[in-house]
Structure 1
Amino acid sequence: MRIALQHDIPGLCEQLQGLGQAVDTYVVPSGDGPLQPFAADVLLCTVRGGDLPALITACQGLRWIHVFGTGIDGFPLSLLADDTVLTCSRGATATPIAEWVLATMLAREKQLPERWLKESPASWYAADLGCLEGKTLGIVGFGAIGQAVARRALAFDMQVMATVRRHRESPMPGVRLVEQLDSLLPQADHLVLALPATPESDGLINAQTLAALKPGAHLVNVSRASLVDQGALRTALDTGHLACASLDVVDPEPLPAGHWIYSHPGIRLSAHISWSGPNMTERLLAPFIANVQAFSRGEPLQGLVDKTAGY
């Protein structure tokens, strides 16, 4: 098996060659010149950084591509042959992202960091803090991240609803699955976006859907900025219909200096870091390593991407 690596990840070549399989690894050279054709059965790449179309075109005999990441938005799907398999490390970042989501919801209810003291307050022993207990969490998208968020929310005694493309029985007791976003929005105290970026999800959160959202709700986006109409978001925050938005993804990234999102009092902005956690390189590589072993044995791969649906 010939495996081409877009980037030289420390220790990966040795790890692949130590699997006990007939594995040859090749790190694609970087540079300003044109990329020369090379032979490989497998390509490990990233969606961002480098000329991915040129890399795919130069790779001869390609049978399988694995994206070192959890999303494939921006991937040149049109360049893939019908029989080329595409996988990604879907679910590898679900735990840190779910913990980040719970942190944003707790921060909203507990009024953090505003409640941390740096000087004597006007009064002690008094506050009007909220609780997650009894609140309704709406999750848009019930994949690995959505399910990880739901499990943690249930532990806080929240009411949990989640959208799915087609009706099915919930695999998680206590979670109600719905097909229509409209049936979820009026009930959600906290709305978490956990959908992949596709043409169907583009602009999903717009003036109409924000108007249908429960007044005073809190929006959390750990998915992709393309899901949210930022102009409509600003209006919803300015009018007070939406109380707060915790955004880990925005458009563009990075935001230019002076952008209104930085200073808006209703927005809590982070720098696309919700995925961060211990040993993230190992977490993201684990599905690829498992797939290399499955591929060598002719077994099904995990993290398969539906090239038609785009995720």
Structure 2
Amino acid sequence: MSDVLFCTDTFWKAWGDQVTAIAPDIETVLLVNEEPVADADLERITIAFFSHDAWPERAGNYFGVALRADNLAWLHSMSAGVDSPIFQTLKDRGVRLTNSSGSSSSPIARTVMMFLLALARDLPRMMRAQANAEWAWDRWSELEGKSVAVVGYGPIGQEVVRLTTAFGMQPVIVRRQAQGDETCPVRPLAELESVMAAVDAVVLALPLNDDTHGIISADLISAMQAHAFFVNVGRGELVDQLALTKALATGMLGGAGLDVTYPEPLPADDPLWALPNVIITPHNSGSTDGTARRAAERFFANLVPWVTSGDLLSEV
């Protein structure tokens, strides 16, 4: 019996030929705009790919279908982050879960460098001056020689270490314990407070789980130097956001680049929006014109062993 793939119409139009080249007998159930999926089609679904084009507008509809597909055996997510309760619900039901870890690490790491460069050059102030037609000359700070703690050493953290090194910065990796594959000094996660107190910048690239929820506490934020920058490309729930806001507003922290917040979207009346030393992007640091292709390639890499032997390369 052939597999039935649940995916968006957009994904199938772009990548259907490559899917059928791997699995010639595969059938599809497509998510088309806001149209509901028939009950008979729900029963047919055996595998699913949550692709970039479904986020964020069609994510609710997509996972509504996935949760009702009783015969779903495997779901592949384009995102490295699978901390949503929906994924755990599916796993508890026996659905095998894979993701496209690493497919967005390159653009996310470049967003980190964008944040660091923009904060070092006070780009928010320059943009305000431009909007007011002001020739507001100033002297910039350099990143070269500055120390940066990279908290988390997955694909994103590894690329951040590579880029910060290329910019002449001095990275230190913070992870649970050294594994021997690191390219610069390593400090254990248990020493995070002393590390944050000593560096010029902190880049947070941890996954969200029970152990990391709220890991950046008010005490850790207050330990940072007043000139230091804080960058978060992990999850908003990793951070005591009220403490971070207070530190940024009172000059206890030099600036922040935030691709993630809690909640998301960040409410319009949240004080973070108005702070002059904060740059906020709407959780899109990994959303580029190349990320969808890399995510699809990770799905194809798992589809090959799935159709031949029912195996997967790696599960989450």
TM score, norm. by length of structure 2: 0.84
Quote how far apart the aligned CAs of 1:115 are: 4.7
Which is richer in helix? Answer: 2
Do the aligned residues in 1 keep the contact of 2:177 with 2:187 (CA within 8 Å)?
Answer: no
| Inter-partner Cα distance in structure 2 for 1:163 and 1:297 | 40
1:197 has 2:192 as partner: no
Residue matched to 1:19? 22
Do the aligned residues in 2 keep the contact of 1:97 with 1:275 (CA within 8 Å)?
Answer: yes
- The Cα offsets for residues 244-281 of structure 1, whole Å up to 9 and x where unpaired, read as 11111122322333331211122111222211322332
Quote how far apart the aligned CAs of 1:184 are: 1.8
| Inter-partner Cα distance in structure 1 for 2:169 and 2:134 | 34
Residue matched to 1:94? 105
| Inter-partner Cα distance in structure 1 for 2:165 and 2:257 | 20
Do the aligned residues in 1 keep the contact of 2:6 with 2:45 (CA within 8 Å)?
Answer: no
1:50 has 2:53 as partner: no
1:213 has 2:205 as partner: no
| Inter-partner Cα distance in structure 1 for 2:15 and 2:80 | 19
Residue matched to 1:63? 73
Quote how far apart the aligned CAs of 1:72 are: 1.2
Quote how far apart the aligned CAs of 1:298 are: 3.2
- The Cα offsets for residues 182-205 of structure 1, whole Å up to 9 and x where unpaired, read as 242112211111111222222222
- The Cα offsets for residues 49-97 of structure 1, whole Å up to 9 and x where unpaired, read as 2256653443243332111322112142134357532111111111111
- Over 6 Å off, 4+ runs: none
Do the aligned residues in 2 keep the contact of 1:109 with 1:130 (CA within 8 Å)?
Answer: yes
Amino acid at match of 1:86: L
SS in 2 for 1:184: helix
| Inter-partner Cα distance in structure 2 for 1:303 and 1:267 | 38
SS in 2 for 1:80: helix
Amino acid at match of 1:16: V
SS in 1 for 2:49: strand
Amino acid at match of 1:74: S
Amino acid at match of 1:105: L
Unaligned runs of 5+ in 2: none
Quote how far apart the aligned CAs of 1:17 are: 0.9
SS in 1 for 2:264: coil
Q: 1:221 to 1:244 in 2, by over 3 A?
A: same
Higher mean Cα deviation, 151-160 or 252-261?
252-261
| Inter-partner Cα distance in structure 2 for 1:261 and 1:34 | 44
SS in 1 for 2:22: coil
| Inter-partner Cα distance in structure 2 for 1:120 and 1:79 | 55
SS in 2 for 1:87: strand
- The Cα offsets for residues 21-69 of structure 1, whole Å up to 9 and x where unpaired, read as 4422322565458745413332223686225665344324333211132
| Inter-partner Cα distance in structure 1 for 2:4 and 2:182 | 38
Higher mean Cα deviation, 217-226 or 4-13?
4-13
Quote how far apart the aligned CAs of 1:302 are: 4.3
Q: 1:230 to 1:152 in 2, by over 3 A?
A: same
Q: 1:62 to 1:115 in 2, by over 3 A?
A: closer
| Inter-partner Cα distance in structure 2 for 1:297 and 1:156 | 45
Amino acid at match of 2:47: V
1:41 has 2:46 as partner: yes
Quote how far apart the aligned CAs of 1:113 are: 5.0
Quote how far apart the aligned CAs of 1:299 are: 7.8
Amino acid at match of 1:45: F
Quote how far apart the aligned CAs of 1:5 are: 1.9
Residue matched to 1:74? 84
Higher mean Cα deviation, 19-28 or 64-73?
19-28
SS in 2 for 1:44: strand
| Inter-partner Cα distance in structure 1 for 2:166 and 2:14 | 38
Residue matched to 1:309? none
Higher mean Cα deviation, 56-65 or 155-164?
56-65
Residue matched to 1:172? 182
Residue matched to 1:267? 278
| Inter-partner Cα distance in structure 2 for 1:2 and 1:20 | 9
Do the aligned residues in 1 keep the contact of 2:7 with 2:31 (CA within 8 Å)?
Answer: yes
Higher mean Cα deviation, 187-196 or 253-262?
253-262
